[in-house]
Chains A and B, each alone.
Chain A
Amino acid sequence: MQVTFKWLKDYVEIDTTPEDLAERITMSGTCVETLEEVAPKVQGIVAGKIDTIEKHPEADKLWVCTVSVGKEKPITIITSATNVFADATVPVAVVGATIANGDTMTEVAFRGITSQGMFCSVEEMGLNTSLFSKEQIEGIYIFDEPLTPGTDIKSYMWGDDHILEVEITANRSDCQSIYGIAKEVSATLDTPICAPKLHPMGEAEGEIQNYLSVEIASKKCSRYHATMFRVKKIEPSPHWMQVRLLNAAVRPINNIVDVTNFVMLETGQPLHAFDYESLKSKKIVVREAGKDETVVTLDNKERALKPDMLMITNGTYPVAVAGIMGGANSEITKETELVLLESACFDKTSVRLTSQRLGLRSESSSRFEKGLYPNLVEQATARATELLLSIGACELIDGYIDVYPEKQQPVSIEVSAQWINDFIGIDISRKEMILYLKRLFIEVQTDPDNEDKMTVYPPDYRQDLEIREDIAEEVARLYGYNNIPNTIMGGTTLVGGKTRDQQLEELLTDVLIGSGYSETLTTSFTNLPHLVDLRLADEKDQVVQLLNPLGEDNSMMRNTLMAHQLEIIQTNYNHKNTRGRFFEIAMTYHHNDDPKGLPIEKERCVISAYDGIDFFGLKGLVERIFASLGIDGVEYKVGETALFHPYRNADIYIKDQCIGTLGEVHPIIVKNHRLPRRTYICELDCEMLYEAAQLEVRYIDLPRYPSSSRDIALVLDEGVPSGDVVKIIESHNNGMIESIDLFDVYVGDQIEKGKKSLAYSIVFRLPERTLTDEDIQGVMDSILKDLNEKLDAKLRD
Chain B
Amino acid sequence: MHKQLNELRDAFHKSTEEIQTLKDLEAIRVQYLGKKGRLTIALKGMGKLSPEERPTVGKLANVIRGEIEKTIQEKKEWLEEKKIDLEIQNEKLDITLPGRMPERGHRHPLNLVMSDLEKIFIGMGFSIAEGPEIEWSEYNFDHLNMPAEHASRDLQETFYYTEDIVLRTQTSPVQIRVMENNRPPLRIISPGRVYRSDEVDATHSPVFHQMEGLVIDQNITMSDLKGTLSLFAQKLFGDTVKTRFRPHQFYFTEPSAEMDVSCFKCGGTGCRVCGSGWIELLGCGMVHPNVLRHCDIDPNVFSGFAFGMGLERVAMTKYEINDLRLLFENDKRFLEQF
A residues bordering B, Cβ < 8 Å? 26-29, 31, 169-172, 348-349, 352, 356, 369, 422-426, 464, 467, 469-470, 472-473, 476-477, 481-482, 484-499, 502, 506, 509, 512-525, 544-550, 554, 557, 568, 571-572, 575, 577, 580-583, 586-587, 589, 598-599, 601
Contact (Cβ within 8 A) A496 B207: no
| Bound: A476/B247 CA distance, A | 9
Contact (Cβ within 8 A) A571 B329: yes
Distance to closest chain A CB from B19 (angstroms): 45
CB-defined contacts of A172 to chain B, threshold 8 Å = 249
Q: Which residue of A lies closest to B115 (CB)?
A: A506
CB-defined contacts of B248 to chain A, threshold 8 Å = 29, 31, 169
| Bound: A369/B147 CA distance, A | 13
Distance to closest chain A CB from B281 (angstroms): 15
B residues bordering A, Cβ < 8 Å? 103-108, 110-111, 115, 118, 121-128, 132-136, 149-151, 154-156, 159-162, 165, 167, 185, 187, 193, 195, 197, 199, 205-207, 215, 217-224, 226-228, 230-231, 244-249, 254-258, 286, 288-289, 303, 327-333, 335-336
24 A-B Cβ contacts within 8 A?
A171-B249, A356-B154, A424-B222, A424-B255, A425-B222, A425-B223, A426-B223, A469-B254, A476-B222, A484-B226, A487-B227, A488-B228, A515-B103, A518-B332, A519-B108, A520-B108, A520-B335, A522-B328, A525-B206, A546-B167, A557-B134, A568-B330, A598-B134, A599-B165
Known: A469-B289, A523-B205, A547-B161. A494 touches B106 (CB 8 A): no
Known: A516-B104, A520-B335, A571-B329. A473 touches B247 (CB 8 A): yes
| Bound: A352/B135 CA distance, A | 25
| Bound: A525/B126 CA distance, A | 31
CB-defined contacts of B108 to chain A, threshold 8 Å = 518-521
Q: Which residue of A lies closest to B289 (CB)?
A: A469
Contact (Cβ within 8 A) B127 A496: yes
Distance to closest chain A CB from B299 (angstroms): 9
Contact (Cβ within 8 A) A29 B246: yes
Contact (Cβ within 8 A) B231 A488: yes
Majority-rule SS of B interface residues: mixed
Distance to closest chain B CB from A419 (angstroms): 9
Contact (Cβ within 8 A) A498 B207: no
CB-defined contacts of B125 to chain A, threshold 8 Å = 493-496
Contact (Cβ within 8 A) A486 B333: no
| Bound: A554/B118 CA distance, A | 31
Known: A469-B254, A494-B185, A544-B161. A422 touches B206 (CB 8 A): no
Known: A494-B125, A518-B336. A169 touches B249 (CB 8 A): yes
Q: Which 3 A-B pairs have the closest CB atoms?
A: A425-B223, A425-B221, A29-B247
| Bound: A703/B245 CA distance, A | 65
Known: A513-B106, A587-B133. A348 touches B149 (CB 8 A): yes
Contact (Cβ within 8 A) A496 B222: no
| Bound: A486/B127 CA distance, A | 23
Distance to closest chain A CB from B189 (angstroms): 9
Distance to closest chain A CB from B21 (angstroms): 42
A546 interface neighbour in B124, B160, B244, B289, Cβ under 8 Å: B160
Contact (Cβ within 8 A) B246 A31: yes
| Bound: A545/B223 CA distance, A | 45
Contact (Cβ within 8 A) B104 A513: yes
B106 interface neighbour in A423, A491, A496, A519, Cβ under 8 Å: A519
Distance to closest chain A CB from B108 (angstroms): 4
| Bound: A52/B227 CA distance, A | 73
Contact (Cβ within 8 A) B207 A523: yes
Contact (Cβ within 8 A) A525 B286: no
| Bound: A352/B154 CA distance, A | 10
Contact (Cβ within 8 A) B327 A521: yes
| Bound: A581/B118 CA distance, A | 26
Known: A169-B249, A515-B105. A492 touches B223 (CB 8 A): no
A580 interface neighbour in B103, B106, B221, B332, Cβ under 8 Å: B332
Q: Which residue of A lies closest to B110 (CB)?
A: A521
| Bound: A403/B298 CA distance, A | 43
Contact (Cβ within 8 A) A28 B228: no
Contact (Cβ within 8 A) A521 B328: yes
Q: Which residue of A lies closest to B206 (CB)?
A: A550
Q: Which residue of A lies closest to B102 (CB)?
A: A516
